[in-house]
Amino acid sequence: MNPQILTASISTQVVQQNSNSSSASASGSGNQQQNSTDSTASGGSTNTTSEASTEASTSPEESTSSEGSTSTEAVSTTTTNALPSNPRINQICTGNPGMNDRIRTRALEMTNYRRSRLARGFVSKSTGRRLPMAADMIRLRYNCSLETSAKAAVDSCTTSYSNIPSGVQQNIYSIPKSRAQYRVDAITEAIKDWWSQVRRVDGIGMKVIYRAKHEGSPISWFTRVSLDLPS
């Protein structure tokens, strides 16, 4: 892969906790491109690509991975916590040394903020009309097992989704290092790109029904990070 490219990845999953509640998980990770990459950012090809998972390479101070899971509470507002001042801090998922808490926190808070706006009916599609409010939107929590899944995807240096675990949704995004010096920058741009698809393409109707024709299209990147809790 081209060392001038960073790749980022996020994985999400809805898991049944009990008969009355469900949860979802999201993860992202990243390490240096010359080895392999995680869901945050890593080196890659010279062209930018966006898909179900993302990896990125960065300077040593930025090599970390992130993931998150969701609880069943409705998303209203997202509390913003300050990013760890030391990019080497790895306290959330100590078993994943290739990632850091700065990337994890950025990925989780950016995604939950946007899910909150979607849940409250503040997200507009390409026509300018606002999508309907969500019925059972859930707030994501961080999940280290999903982080491992996202890291494996970026480490494989492929955009194929053939090895994604059952029930897991994954997005991949690659970006030139000229636009994202560090992995935390790569995951930031990846999340912005995935969410922007709903405004760029006329791919989903006001009934918000995901159809077979949407699979593999840019709107699928948006749906993977904005999925609602199935009834």
What is the Cα–Cα distance from 206 to 150, expressed in whole angstroms? 31
Comparing CA positions, the residue from 38, 47, 51, 60 lying closest to residue 2 is 47
Pairwise pLDDT comparison (156 vs 29), residue with the higher score = 156
How many Å is the Cα radius of gyration of the chain? 16
Does 173 reside within a domain? yes
Cβ contact 141:23 at 8 Å? yes
How many structural domains does the chain have?
A: 1
Comparing CA positions, the residue from 85, 15, 1, 94 lying closest to residue 49 is 1
The two tokens of residue 62 are 């930025």
Pairwise pLDDT comparison (132 vs 83), residue with the higher score = 132
Does 231 reside within a domain? no
Distances from the Cα of 183 to the Cαs of 86, 143, 155, in angstroms?
14, 19, 14
For the segment 91-114, the average pLDDT, to the nearest whole number, is 92
For the segment 153-168, the average pLDDT, to the nearest whole number, is 69
pLDDT in tens, 196-207: 988 887 777 787
Q: Which residues pair with 15 in a beta bridge?
A: 23
Cβ contact 26:108 at 8 Å? yes
For the segment 168-179, the average pLDDT, to the nearest whole number, is 84
Q: What is the reported pLDDT for 79? A: 38
What is the Cα–Cα distance from 124 to 143, expressed in whole angstroms? 29
Residue 111 pLDDT level (bands cut at 50, 70, 90): very high
Check whether 122 has a pLDDT greater than 90: yes
Q: Which domain holds residue 117?
A: 5-226
pLDDT in tens, 71-94: 323 333 333 455 666 768 999 999
What is the Cα–Cα distance from 184 to 193, expressed in whole angstroms? 14
- The tokens 């024709």 sit on which residue? 213
Instruction: For the chain, give the number of residues.
Output: 231
Q: In the chain, where do the E strands start and end?
A: 5-18, 21-29, 49-52, 65-74, 138-142, 168-176
Contacts of 172 (CB under 8 A, 6+ apart): 7, 8, 9, 49, 50, 51, 52, 53, 54, 55, 153, 154, 159
The rounded percent of the chain whose pLDDT value lies above 90 is: 19
